[in-house]
Structure 1
Amino acid sequence: MESSRPLSLKEKMAYGCGDAASNMMWGMTSSYLMYYYTDIYGLPLVAVSWILLVARVVDAFCDPAIGYIIDRIGGVVVPRLIRALAIPFGVTGFLCFLALPLSPTGKVLWAGLTYIVFGAIYSCINTPYGALAVMISRSATPRVDLNAFRMMGCQAGSLLVALLTIPAITWLGGGESAAQHQYGMAVYVLVLSVLGGFLWLCVAHGCTVRHPPAPVRRDLVVTVRLLCQNRRWVLSNLLAFFYFVGQAALFGFALYYARVILGGTEQVGANIITFVTVLLFAGVPACLPLARRLGTVRSGIICLIAQGAAYLAMAVAGASMTGFFLSVSLLALAQGVMSPLYYTLLAQAVDDGDPHASTGSAGLAYSINTWVTKLAMGLTGFVLAQFLSLGHYVENGVTQPPALSLWVTAGFVWLPLGAVCMQTLCLLAWRDRG
């Protein structure tokens, strides 16, 4: 039975360390990997788009597999799994940004292999981490608290990456050339990798599994079929998919939007990422009081309306730096307020879904959700790289073709605006009184 005492601040912070570790490396891959591949490592855009997509196809097997293993063994394996994978997580993340001096074909193969392996390790550590909140507490308020700390850890890790990356790789590399940036990037990511491994160890040692699910012996196909009968679980996955489409576009295209639309430099793009991350972090604490007052679904719809208005204002602002920052401020605050709600709704769907569709398979349920988020990131990265190719983007080019601005705007504004509309439809279909 659950203790009547609230969760300690230490345990909430330990839980938040997981997303801090994830998002240092995930922030690097989502915000800077495409830039690293094209402008630093010199990979062709077509190859970059396929690397991003193929890595997600491989994850289609990794995420459900680790979730199924967790369900077969039982929830007690989660802390041990996180502890065992903490160091491999850091090592593989570092290798993604290690620019080996290979032939053009060798570079593509090296980039693809390292990113695929990192994605697999990420699946194997982040899936049990996602299911951990349900095992720590079975009460609604502690879960919102845990997910709020998770989102604060997420934004803290993202903020560190956004604030330091461009200045750090220039300073550590000793200059602005591609070779100097390659060296600076490798040293910088090495530091992040060591810190990320340490934070994962904090999760393993600081969180207590109070409600470990019993091993599930049901056939995999039957389990998946029962999960798909849980309407709220399906909706929560659609919500996550379209949310991460928007996140991939926002962070993955910020550098290009700053250069092509706003007429700035890579540093302006890094400043945008930093600014957005700070406001995302600032918005998270408002989630709990808003959800208590209006309920999770109504709170989410209000946040989505604000995001839609922000994207429309951004489109109207065009090259105006003032208009852009006002628009992106509203967008980031609304996303920050809403971010814990995604995981709260997912926990509700897994734990409190339709009784006839309940499976007890938290590992598989969360693993598929993790795969859905990475599928969204991979597909969006593929689309964005194709947009750059269609606009004839020139790597390290001082001037760009005029048509490129239309494609960059499509990727940064119109694509995520469509994702916001789809999220709104999902919440309207939730049918939740709270």
Structure 2
Amino acid sequence: MSSITREVSLHEKVAYGCGDLSSNLMWGMTSSYLMYYYTDIYGLPVGAVGWILLVARVFDAFCDPAIGYVIDRQGGQIVPRLIRSLAFPFGMAGFACFLPLPFSPHGKILWALLTYIVLGAIYSCINTPYGALGTMITRQAHDRVGLNSFRMMGCQGGQFIVSLFTIPAITWLGGGTGMLQRQHGMALYALGLAITATLLWRYVGRACITRYPPQPARHSPVEVLRVLAHNRCWWLCNALVFLQFAGLAALYGFALYYARIILGGSEEMGGILLTIATIMGFAGAVICPRVVRCLGVIGSATVCVVIQAMAYLLLVSAGNALSFFFAGFAILTLAQGVTSPLYYVLLAHGIDMGRMTSPVNTAGMAYSINTLVTKMSMGVTGFILASFLAHGHYAADVHIVLPNLKHWVMAGFVWLPLGAVALQLVFLALWPRGAATSTPERQVLRSGV
């Protein structure tokens, strides 16, 4: 330890951000384009798509806590090794998820379900140690804000690549706009993303330093869960993350449908919306540390959530005025970009609070369940969105948009996430005052950083 500097360098922060960059090259594809790929490219029924998105998340309910328990039992030193060893399986699972094998209709559904389950399981086993890695790199609050800001920059960078290049790439690589051509283009594009994601994860596992690795714990799962059950901050973080990802899943999952059905545009306009979202989200992650210095963690989160609510109302009132719509959309996604790193800072603090009040090491399990919460949020939201499309009688090859479909798309893109935003304000108000982030060594509990 004496030869390892306690200061977190810029290089290490960039390396840590590459983890979310890698994740969102593949996992970001599922949040933005998987539903579209299933319905419009692979030709799956809308009703089946909803169940695929939900059932895969139910399976993950067993994977996330299992890998978290392994981390706690083996200790923090296993984390970099896990990341390095799972880099290749993660990339290949992501590629398989977008590989349109020519099965029968029922065979396609089973293939889609199987590959999405495998991708989710491997994602659990690599992203859970990645999340826990942040608490092992540093215990300083300002460094954690920096790490998670770079993490969100990586997230938005990956989402930017996916948003900007996916639609043009699958057309160019496939050589046309026909269904078979787009299937071929999607497979080649996914392969390129998979190779890149694999290399990035290997870089994370080698460049990030575990300065504070927890020692192996021999506590039973029941004992760990009992300690977590009494951690109020951890519970609140999970609720906030669930609601935050519900809003993000609705935005990214329904952007293509909203552009085509509500705005009367094309798939390319949907790609523009996703590109704007990632640019503004990246900008939000960049300015997040400055905002925190002015308002504190809880204050920053509360202000940004209020801005999100106002932006959603602006989207509704904009009507057909695209300039007002894009202004509201840019404001919305900028506020989301500032908010996202803050919830991970609060999660790290919740884990630190548990460490200070109990000798039981809960870091692996706490992060694994939080990862499960994010995927359950995306799965439940995806199921709801697919149900909305089914109720609106959506069909990929129908060009006449029924008024009923417009109502359901509006409900999925605006009203559902607006409700999630309102609930976030409730849980932020319940956060214990004087318990935001700090260095656990000094036990300084304050709402600023």
Q: Fold conserved (TM > 0.5)? A: yes
Distance 2:16 2:367 in 1: 16
Q: Is the 8 A contact 1:227 1:358 kept in 2?
A: no
Matched, 1:177 2:178: yes
Question: What whole-Å deviation, never above 9, does each CA across 1:217-265 have from its counterpart, x for those lacking one?
Answer: 1111121121011000000000100000000000000000001100000
Partner of 1:221: 222
Distance 1:108 1:307 in 2: 36
Letter in 1 for 2:196: L
Distance 2:327 2:184 in 1: 36
Partner of 1:186: 187
Matched, 1:201 2:185: no
More deviation in 286-295 or 299-308?
286-295
Partner of 2:136: 135
Partner of 1:365: 366
Inter-CA distance 319–358: structure 2 relative to 1 (3 Å threshold): farther
Partner of 1:427: 428
Distance 1:87 1:207 in 2: 18
Distance 1:423 1:138 in 2: 26
Inter-CA distance 11–159: structure 2 relative to 1 (3 Å threshold): same
Question: What whole-Å deviation, never above 9, does each CA across 1:67-99 have from its counterpart, x for those lacking one?
Answer: 000100111000000011000000000000000
Partner of 1:307: 308
TM-score of the superposition, structure 2-length normalised?
A: 0.95
Partner of 2:380: 379
Distance 1:21 1:406 in 2: 35
Distance 2:180 2:186 in 1: 10
Q: Is the 8 A contact 1:261 1:318 kept in 2?
A: no
Question: What whole-Å deviation, never above 9, does each CA across 1:258-314 have from its counterpart, x for those lacking one?
Answer: 011000001100110001110110111211121122210011000000000000111
Distance 1:355 1:187 in 2: 49
Distance 1:46 1:71 in 2: 39
SS of aligned partner of 1:374: helix
Partner of 1:86: 87
Residue 6 of structure 1 and its aligned partner are, at CA, apart by 2.6
Q: Is the 8 A contact 1:262 1:320 kept in 2?
A: no
Letter in 1 for 2:142: T
Partner of 1:293: 294
Question: What whole-Å deviation, never above 9, does each CA across 1:46-74 have from its counterpart, x for those lacking one?
Answer: 11000000000000000000000010011
Q: How does 1:62-101 map to 2 (within 5 A)?
A: 62-101=63-102
Distance 1:344 1:390 in 2: 39
Question: What whole-Å deviation, never above 9, does each CA across 1:292-338 have from its counterpart, x for those lacking one?
Answer: 22210011000000000000111111232112101101101111111
Letter in 1 for 2:195: V
Residue 140 of structure 1 and its aligned partner are, at CA, apart by 0.7
Distance 2:359 2:266 in 1: 51
Structure 1: runs of 5+ lacking an equivalent: none
Residue 396 of structure 1 and its aligned partner are, at CA, apart by 2.8
Paired-residue identity, %: 59
Residue 149 of structure 1 and its aligned partner are, at CA, apart by 0.8
Partner of 2:115: 114
Distance 1:205 1:405 in 2: 49
Letter in 1 for 2:221: L
Letter in 2 for 1:97: F
Matched, 1:272 2:273: yes
Question: What whole-Å deviation, never above 9, does each CA across 1:185-210 have from its counterpart, x for those lacking one?
Answer: 00000000000000000001101111
Q: Is the 8 A contact 1:230 1:357 kept in 2?
A: no
SS of aligned partner of 2:210: coil
Q: Is the 8 A contact 1:227 1:357 kept in 2?
A: no
Distance 1:57 1:304 in 2: 29
Residue 4 of structure 1 and its aligned partner are, at CA, apart by 6.8
Residue 354 of structure 1 and its aligned partner are, at CA, apart by 8.0
TM-score of the superposition, structure 1-length normalised?
A: 0.98
Distance 1:331 1:168 in 2: 27
Partner of 1:144: 145
Paired residue total: 434
Partner of 1:45: 46
Question: What whole-Å deviation, never above 9, does each CA across 1:84-137 have from its counterpart, x for those lacking one?
Answer: 100000000000000001100100000000000000000000000000010011
Partner of 1:235: 236
Letter in 1 for 2:309: G
More deviation in 290-299 or 362-371?
290-299
Q: Is the 8 A contact 1:226 1:358 kept in 2?
A: no
Letter in 1 for 2:421: V
Partner of 2:442: none
Distance 2:356 2:132 in 1: 19
Distance 1:237 1:179 in 2: 41
Letter in 2 for 1:376: S
Q: Is the 8 A contact 2:16 2:208 kept in 1?
A: yes
Residue 358 of structure 1 and its aligned partner are, at CA, apart by 6.3
Structure 2: runs of 5+ lacking an equivalent: 435-446
Distance 2:255 2:358 in 1: 41
Distance 1:103 1:177 in 2: 19
Q: Is the 8 A contact 2:95 2:191 kept in 1?
A: yes
More deviation in 216-225 or 145-154?
216-225
Q: Is the 8 A contact 2:227 2:354 kept in 1?
A: no
Letter in 2 for 1:299: S
Q: Is the 8 A contact 2:355 2:361 kept in 1?
A: no
Inter-CA distance 321–358: structure 2 relative to 1 (3 Å threshold): farther
Q: How does 1:298-377 map to 2 (within 5 A)?
A: 298-353=299-354, 355-356=356-357, 359-377=360-378
Q: Is the 8 A contact 2:44 2:108 kept in 1?
A: yes
Distance 2:97 2:199 in 1: 19
Matched, 1:397 2:398: yes
Residue 353 of structure 1 and its aligned partner are, at CA, apart by 4.1
Inter-CA distance 332–385: structure 2 relative to 1 (3 Å threshold): same
Q: Is the 8 A contact 2:6 2:211 kept in 1?
A: no
Residue 360 of structure 1 and its aligned partner are, at CA, apart by 2.0
Q: Is the 8 A contact 2:96 2:115 kept in 1?
A: yes
More deviation in 373-382 or 3-12?
3-12
Letter in 2 for 1:89: F
Residue 361 of structure 1 and its aligned partner are, at CA, apart by 1.5
Partner of 2:441: none
Q: Is the 8 A contact 1:20 1:156 kept in 2?
A: yes
Question: What whole-Å deviation, never above 9, does each CA across 1:130-179 have from its counterpart, x for those lacking one?
Answer: 00010011111111111111111111111000010000000000111111
Q: Is the 8 A contact 1:311 1:331 kept in 2?
A: yes
Distance 1:43 1:90 in 2: 24
